[in-house]
Amino acid sequence: MTAPTLTDLNDVTFAENTVNASPQLIDVDVDFADAEGDFDGAACA
């Protein structure tokens, strides 16, 4: 059994007042992979 992987996630730092004001994108270019293909119907949030 292989766990799904999340790669190409970059570090980011936000000021507290910025994230309190509105949601922020952490990284717009990440790769999520499920080699076994059994993540169907689940959510990654």
**Number of domains comprising the chain:** 1
Give the pLDDT of residue 22.
96
Tens digits of pLDDT across the chain (45 residues): 788 888 999 999 999 999 999 999 989 898 988 888 887 777 766
d(CA 27, CA 43): 17
Give the pLDDT of residue 1.
78
**Residue holding tokens 């992987």?**
5
- Quick one: CA torsion of 18, 15, 25, 40, rounded to 10 degrees? -110
Q: What is the largest CA-CA distance in the chain?
A: 42
Other C-beta atoms closer than 10 Å to the C-beta of 39 total: 13
Residue range of the domain that includes 37 = 1-45
Give the pLDDT of residue 2.
83
Give the pLDDT of residue 16.
96
Distance of alpha carbon 18 from the chain centroid? 19
Give the pLDDT of residue 24.
93
